[in-house]
Amino acid sequence: MLFASSTNKGGFKKTKLKKMKTKKTLTNLVASAALAVASVSLGFAQTNLGTDCGCPTPVSSRPTVLVSTLATNGGAGDGELTAANTIFDCAHTWILDKKIYVPSGKSLTIQPGTVIKGRQYSTADSATTLSVEVGGKVFASGSGTCQIVFTAEADNLDGTYPISNISKWGGVTIAGKASNNLTFAANGPFQPGVGDGRLCVADGIGTFEGFASSNSKDQFGVTPAQFDDNDNSGILRYVSIRHAGAILQVGGELNGLSLGSVGRGTTIEHLEIVSSGDDAIELWGGTVDLKYCSFLFGNDDNLDYDDGWRGRAQFIFVLKTDNTSSVDSDNGIEADADDQKSCLLPRSHPVIYNTTMIGNSKTVLTSDNSSIAAMNAKEMTEGEVYNSVFAFWKNGFNMVKSLGTRNAVAATVNGVPSEAYHNWANTGGNSTNSLKFKCNTLVNVTNPITVGSNPANVVTSDTAQFYTTDKNIAVLTVPGFDYTFTVNNTTNAISHRIDAIPNPALSTAGCPSAPADGFYTAAPYRGAFASSGQNWLSGWTYTTLLNAVTGLQPCPTDLNGDGVTNNVDFLQLLGQFNQSCQ
């Protein structure tokens, strides 16, 4: 229940309003007074971060703490937090001024409303990170009104720090004990003598990309006999990670969030990653689940998995910028069985429901691209994607069919082809129909189904399976859904917002329902968002700060965040007519 005003002296009467439905349009002054979008006051989401949980505001008033003062300096344990349980409170701003580690047997607790900033250095190998080692734990459990923010040190949190600012610090890495398929012995012809040569240092143990393989603090996984798929590395809840993804070495970029062998005992939900220099999130093996995640303005892929990830995911939102000049791949989902095409087991096999991924229609392949696709199913990919919406991508569902003569052995199981295409087309040697892409809607996707990234390979012979059997739909438009997006990547000024919520909802008739296993939520619609009711992005995310997405903004009355709804808020409504909120 909302009130338009709290005083007659302010010039208008206190008025009780009924509970709002989704996508209200501001068409007159009275409605505007009650339902204005959050972006007219950037403080609504950020500069007063933590007000609801008693944190000092504005954030700029909080004294800073160099995290290195809480860690070992020098020696093998350099950067490791020394306390059994280190606490980052919201009374301070915490500066990652070097690579910081949570060692085995210790934990880091981050209170709601806390801001952690990564310092930028001039040399790539000095990039700052927060890394949770195997056996360590991080408990970062924010809330919808008191989120936890990791960002660059220069970000003033008012929404003006350019979204083009990528790779300003390293990112967050979490290492666990869950299973992966890393095998050091020869397992295929791609790189003789090494199962996954870039990552593997021993059976079951790998190194996060970009780090030196000799440093055990940067390794994930354990020997296969010690695998624990229920391993718990802690909690990330209502956490925003921004402007990360520093390049440590050529071909070795960090991601916003890197997860290596993280187990399903770990909680990751209501996660946001903004302007990452490499992938938003990359998973190497593990069984961790993901729910309510948004990946915005990233420079490379958004959800990247390989080396045996077998978790679950639901409600994933991706929005690319309109910048198409990046040389990186820019896939919605980049999927691998393993990174070196060596047919290692177990293969990655996540089960994903209800994503909405909006690309930018980039069409030019570069040396870093194997495709530009909503889902790029690479080497021997398995996995399942259901009831999702993909819009404005060059390719929709792209599958590798052949690795060439050099890798012919690696692409077979018992002599039977087992590439991504064969796994989807039900002719695979590893398992029947182990790659599923069903009941998805592709909106203005140039090539809905391809084998290889060359347009000449656009599939025509398998359209019956893709459209009829698997119930995928390719259309140019969807009612209530606007996938076009225009933003100034330097000023963050948005001249055209998207509307990510089809209305009416897209039908899932005849489609698989998400399993009732305690993780998935019943969602009888395609895409990440229901067409009515409160939206899971509203209120706390960066989309609210920028007002980038029509229909996702809440409708506050205290627009300037001073605790009072009065004529000052009313005056801020000017110029905000015909906007939408919930």
Q: What is the pLDDT along the chain (582 residues), one digit of tens a residue?
A: 232 333 333 333 333 333 333 343 333 322 222 223 333 333 344 778 888 899 999 999 999 999 999 999 999 999 999 999 999 999 999 999 999 999 999 999 999 999 999 999 988 788 999 999 999 999 999 999 899 999 999 999 988 899 999 999 999 999 999 999 998 874 443 443 344 456 788 899 999 988 877 789 999 999 999 999 999 999 999 999 999 999 887 567 799 999 999 999 999 999 999 999 989 999 999 999 999 999 999 988 999 999 999 999 999 999 998 887 776 668 999 998 876 666 677 889 999 999 999 998 887 765 555 678 999 998 788 999 999 999 999 899 998 876 554 344 455 665 566 788 888 987 766 556 799 999 999 999 999 998 875 556 677 667 889 999 999 999 999 999 999 989 898 998 888 889 999 999 999 999 999 999 999 999 999 999 999 887 898 778 888 777 777 665 444 444 454 545 555 555 554 444 434 444
Predicted local confidence at residue 574, as pLDDT: 45
Q: What is the pLDDT of residue 177?
A: 98
Which residue in this structure is represented by tokens 């603090």? 217
Q: What is the dihedral of CA 323, 329, 330, 331, to 10 degrees?
A: 160
How far apart CA 201 and CA 292 sit, in angstroms, is: 33
- Residue 105 CA to residue 345 CA, distance in Å, equals 30
Q: How far is CA 274 from the centre of its chain?
A: 8
Q: Are 346 and 308 a contacting pair, CB within 8 Å? A: yes
Question: For the residues of 105-150, what is the DSSP string, one character each?
Answer: T-EEEE-TT-EEEEPP-SSGGG--EEEE-TT-EEEEE--SSS-EEE
Q: How far apart, in Å, are the Cα atoms of 143 and each of 44, 96, 109, 273, 513?
A: 15, 23, 14, 16, 29
Handedness of CA 221, 223, 226, 230 (dihedral sign): positive
What is the chain's length? Answer: 582
DSSP 383-403: EEEES-EEES-SEEEEE----
Q: Are 423 and 393 in contact (CB under 8 A)?
A: no
Q: Strands (DSSP E) along 230-321, which ranges?
A: 234-242, 247-249, 252-253, 257-260, 267-274, 281-284, 290-296, 303-306, 312-319
Beta bridge pairs of residue 352: 313, 385
Cα–Cα distance measured from residue 98 to residue 118, given in angstroms and rounded to the nearest whole number: 8
State the pLDDT at residue 569: 52
User: In order of start, what are the domains of the chain with their CATH numbers?
Assistant: 81-499 (2.160.20)
Residue 92 contacts by C-beta under 8 Å, 6 or more apart in sequence?
62, 63, 64, 65
Given this model, what pLDDT does residue 419 score?
Answer: 81
pLDDT on residue 454:
58
Q: What is the dihedral of CA 567, 569, 571, 577, to 10 degrees?
A: -130
The amino acid occupying position 355 is T
Is the separation of the CB atoms in 257 and 165 below 8 Å? no
- pLDDT at residue number 345: 79
Q: How far is CA 30 from the centre of its chain?
A: 38
Sign of torsion, CA 424 426 427 432?
A: positive
Q: State the Cα–Cα distance between residues 543 and 548, nearest whole angstrom.
A: 5
The type of residue at 581 is: C
Which residues does 185 contact at the CB level (< 8 Å), separation at least 6?
193, 195, 203
| 152: CB partners within 8 A, 6+ apart | 117, 118, 120, 161, 165, 168, 169, 242, 243, 244
Phi then psi for residue 260, to 5 deg, are -115, 115
Q: How far apart are the C-alpha atoms of 463 and 393, rounded to whole Å?
A: 19
Q: How many CA atoms lie within 13 A of 534 on its CB side?
A: 8
